[in-house]
A and B are shown apart, each in its own frame.
Chain A
Amino acid sequence: MYRPQKWILQAIQRGYRRHYVHAYLFISPVLLVFGLFRVWPALQTLYFSFYRVELASHRLVYVGLENFIDLFHDDIFLGAVINTFLYAFAIVPISAAAGLILAVLFNERFPAKELLKGVYFAPMVTSTVAAAVVWWWLYNPQYGLFNAILRLLHLPPSPWLLSTKTALLSIVLFSIWKTVGYNMVIYIAGLQAIPSEFYEAATIDGASSIQQFWRITVPLLAPVTTFILIYNGIFAFQVFDQVLVLTGGGPANATNVIVLEIYRQAFQRYRFGYAAAEAMVLFLLILIITIIQFRTSRRFEVTY
């Protein structure tokens, strides 16, 4: 066997000894900027949530749990939490299912496939704000295109964003359009990892395509689905851009969501301590949802 010369080993060893310095030097820029602009504000948020913050006079008044107690009696905040849950529970499964169906369809062979894939993905690269401005126009009850199409089909027009009953649903529709391309791309990547032998064997055994979908595709994509549900869930709880543009939280707070509520309390009413308490609730919700989804989805995961 070839043995490296002693001086080579020493050189390598010397190299590794030096590497503590290198290691800390190399990770220090990331640690510095994250420490300053991510970790420190996160700790400050927790700290502020127990205080009344007066930014102009640089004064902090300790109020204990008052902010949190107020939160649980604040109907607007509780409404925002409920709306955020409704939004997340609507958008996450629908967008994931639509993405899966599209991915399965795109697994077949047909003309102009890449172009069509690109079309479904286009809303993803468009700024949410600009796209929402366009949809705001489409949703216009009098002159908007959506009601014009409904009229052409002899269907009753919808008030879309202007009614407490349909406003949140309208935002969900927008978000499905916006995000379905992402889920589709992730699922397509997942599908390509499934060996085609599974389908060939199932076809020989006489399984129909529907059976193959439920018995092969869905179980084998379970890890991808887990990823998509968790990731989309986290994003759904942070929804803000489209709500601000489409409704501003209205009508009558029917579409108010947690991040919008934080934004209003902090930057329109300057109640930083209260907003910090709301932000802590948001953080806890994201944490809990992630843990629950990890736990439950692991049970459904299958490996062949």
Chain B
Amino acid sequence: MRLKIFWRIVIFLIVSAGALVMLLPFYWMVVTSISPAPEIIAFPPRWIPSHIVWDHFREAWSRAPWLVYYKNSLIVATVSVMCSVVFGIFAGYAFAVYRFPFQNLFFLLILGTLMVPVQVTSVALYVFLARLGWVDTYQGILAPNFASAFAVYLIRQSVQTVPAELLDAARIDGAGEVQIIFRIVVPLIKPVLAAVAMLLFLSSWNDFLWPVIVINSEHMRTLPVGIALFKDPYGFINYGPLMAATVISIAPMLIAYALSQRFMIRGIAMTGMRF
């Protein structure tokens, strides 16, 4: 018994030490963003600033339109999640409940898009959107993310667990298919829908490659594009404002994460989705 407690303490210490290493970049980001300029580059490193200065935040805030970036990220992520979830509910329901010609072909086609990510298709997608006049617009940023193969797949899986008798009973009572979806199916699969929506939001919020390709003007930038281009003019040593900018750009998501940590981790474990 005493041996067991000993091992528990050892494991706790190992895991805690690892956690400190994991936290180090976050910690140093915050310390750099509030330290007086000379202390940022001092040796030995100043782990705790002598006093807190807000100058870096003031400079970072004035150098880029962060509220515009927030707004763009929020619009893109919200529309992407809403479309993906609503389209996913309809398609997932259809694939789970109905039998129809070419069903498997269509399903494989949708899953097949996972093998051809935007990293592969970006060139042709850009040419296509340029012809539509969608470059540097919200619909251009959203184009590859109006629907999610993952959402269709996961929603189909969970609709399959809904007993068919329940749906038939509703049909006999005269409910239409759309009514059945929103009155019966959606309430039953809510946990999956919430997890899918949360993960899609995260992936859209942090998405970088496609937005940086399709966005040209400053007022269309999302947060990741904004922070990447904020870094560029800093060839010289001015890390205070740069770290303040990263704090500004990731703080909302980290706070949301701190408040809903269990929910987010459970969502990953439930769906296996990575972003």
Task: Name A residues whose Cβ lies closer than 8 Å to a Cβ of B.
Answer: 8, 11-12, 15, 19-20, 22-24, 26-27, 29-31, 33-34, 36-45, 47-48, 53, 55, 102, 105-106, 108-111, 114, 116-131, 133-138, 140, 142-143, 145, 148-149, 151-152, 177, 182, 185-186, 188-189, 227, 231, 235, 238, 240-241, 244-245, 259, 262-263, 266-267, 272, 275-276, 279-280, 282-283, 286-287, 290
* Given A42-B120, A127-B208, A129-B224: A12 touches B262 (CB 8 Å cut-off): no
Chain A residues within an 8 Å CB radius of B270: 189
Check if A189 sits within 8 Å of B269, measured CB to CB: yes
Q: What mask results when residues 145 to 165 of chain B are scored 1 for a CB within 8 Å of chain A, else 0?
A: 011010010000000000000
Nearest to A58 among chain B residues (CB) is: B131
A138 contacts B25, C-beta separation under 8 Å: yes
A119 touching B120 by the CB < 8 A rule? no
Q: How far is the CA of A244 from the CA of B232 in the complex (A)?
A: 11
Q: Which of B23, B43, B121, B177 has the most CB of A within 10 A?
A: B121
Q: What residues on A are CB-neighbors of B123 within 8 Å?
A: 45, 48, 262, 266, 272, 275-276, 279
Whether the pair A134, B28 counts as a contact (CB closer than 8 A) is yes
Contact residue among A11, A34, A106, A185 (Cβ-Cβ distance under 8 Å from B268): A185
- Please name 8 pairs of A and B residues whose Cβ atoms are closer than 8 Å in the assembled complex, sorted by A: A22-B98, A26-B93, A34-B147, A43-B124, A106-B15, A119-B19, A125-B254, A151-B43
Which of B16, B122, B265 makes the CB contact (< 8 A) with A262?
B122
- A110 to B8 alpha-carbon distance, docked (Å): 6
Q: Are B130 and A287 in contact (CB under 8 A)?
A: no
A287: nearest chain-B partner, CB-CB: B115
A143–B122 touching, CB < 8 Å: no
B 178-224 contacts with A by CB, 8 A: 202, 205-206, 208-209, 212-213, 223-224
CA distance A120 to B16 in the complex (A): 10
Flag if B246 contacts A145 (CB, 8 Å).
no
Q: Which residues of A contact B172 (CB under 8 A)?
A: 8, 11-12
Contacts of A48 on B, CB cut-off 8 Å? Answer: 123-124, 127
Q: How far is the CB of B3 from chain A (nearest CB, A)?
A: 11
The answer to whether B29 touches A22 (Cβ under 8 A) is no
Evaluate contact between B109 and A44: CB separation under 8 angstroms: no
The distance from the CB of B236 to the nearest CB of chain A, in whole angstroms, is: 12
Chain A CB within 8 A of B261 CB:
yes
Question: Which chain B residues border A244 with CB–CB below 8 Å?
Answer: 212, 228
Question: Is A123 a contact partner of B208 (Cβ separation < 8 A)?
Answer: no
Minimum distance in angstroms from B99 CB to a CB of chain A: 8
Residue among A19, A106, A111, A127 making CB contact with B250, cutoff 8 Å? A127
